[in-house]
Structures are given as C-alpha cells and as structure tokens.
C-alpha cells in the first residue's frame, strides 16, 4: 500500500521516482553580443589559433596534489560568423583548444585584462569539442581589440 502512495505523490509533483530536477535548455549566444563583466554564456566557436603564454613548473615538486602540476596558459583566438575574441585556456583546456577545432563553451565568462575583454571558462564551466562547424570566423570584428575604460559617474544632488 505504501508504494501506491509514493507513486501517487511522485506523479503529483510532475516527475518519476528517480528523476533529477529538470535542466533548462542552453541558450547559445553569438560572439558579437558579449559585453564586459558578464558570465554564464554558452557559445559554439571555432578555434583560429592558439599561442602558449605560460608553462610553469610547480614550486614544490615534493608536495602532492593539484599544486604539483604544471601551470599552462594559452591565449586562443576563437570566434563565429559574427566576430572573434581571445579565449584564455588554462591547464587541461589547452589540449582542447587546437586550431581548427570547433568547441562548445558552457558557462563562459568575460574577464577584463588591461582594459580589453577575454573569454574564460572556470571550474564551473565546461569545454566540449564538437563536430566541425560550417561557418567562417569573422576575424575583422575582434572584440579583444576594443579597449574599455572604467568611468565613475558622480551624481550631484
């Protein structure tokens, strides 16, 4: 009798007994719609090129754990048919960002570096290599070349 009651209450809540809460569909954005200080973007981009910036050995090689790994950083020019932007790839992300790859960036954020925008994916995001895209990257609309300046507006009363 208890199993019938459980099945009835589960049906009333709109799910089955072992289901997870419903995930929302990703909203894919285009590169030209990215703005400074925003996060949570999901994009499909093509990697144009990748330049290694840093390959640093660990400070204390006798220590175990994540601190004992090489720190690798690469700047990759990525884009879609609307524009391009520099992506900062860290550690394991460097292998995924090979020129010519098409990748899905989930939960990406915009970081500001020396007044220009950089795209990054932290530990809460994900990078997936997908099938090659059919679009051509519009490299002449590079959003990382636009310099931004922080202006404080003082309201007079």
What confidence tens digit (pLDDT) does each residue in 3-57 have? Answer: 444 444 444 444 445 556 777 787 888 988 888 889 999 999 999 998 888 776 7
For the beta carbon of residue 95, count every other beta carbon within 10 angstroms.
Answer: 13
| Averaged pLDDT of the chain | 80
Is the per-residue pLDDT at 65 higher than 90? no
Kindly report, residue by residue over 68-125, the tens digit of the pLDDT: 567 888 899 999 999 999 999 888 888 888 888 899 999 999 988 888 899 999 888 8
Domains of the chain: 24-145 (2.40.50.140)
Q: Are 127 and 74 in contact (CB under 8 A)?
A: no
Q: What is the pLDDT of residue 10?
A: 41
> CA 113, CA 8: separation in Å to the nearest integer?
55
> CA 77, CA 69: separation in Å to the nearest integer?
25
Q: Residue 114: in which H helix or E strand, if any?
A: none
Buried b (16+ CB within 10 A) or exposed e, 115-141: ebbbbbbeeebebeeeeeeeeebeeeb
């Amino acid at each position: 009798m208890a199993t019938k009651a459980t099945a009835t209450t589960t049906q009333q809540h709109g799910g089955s007994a072992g289901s997870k809460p419903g995930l929302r569909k990703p909203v894919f954005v285009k590169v030209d719609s990215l703005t400074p200080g925003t996060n949570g973007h999901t994009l499909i981009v093509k990697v144009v090129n990748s330049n290694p910036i840093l390959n640093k050995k660990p400070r204390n090689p006798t220590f175990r754990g994540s601190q004992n790994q090489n720190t690798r950083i690469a700047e990759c020019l990525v884009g879609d048919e609307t524009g391009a932007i520099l992506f900062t790839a860290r550690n394991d992300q460097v292998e995924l960002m090979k020129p010519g790859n098409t990748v899905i960036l989930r939960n990406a954020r915009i970081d500001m570096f020396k007044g220009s925008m950089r795209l990054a994916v932290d530990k809460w995001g994900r990078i997936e290599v997908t099938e090659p895209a059919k679009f051509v990257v519009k490299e002449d609309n590079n959003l990382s070349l636009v310099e931004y300046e922080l202006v404080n507006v003082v309201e007079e009363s």
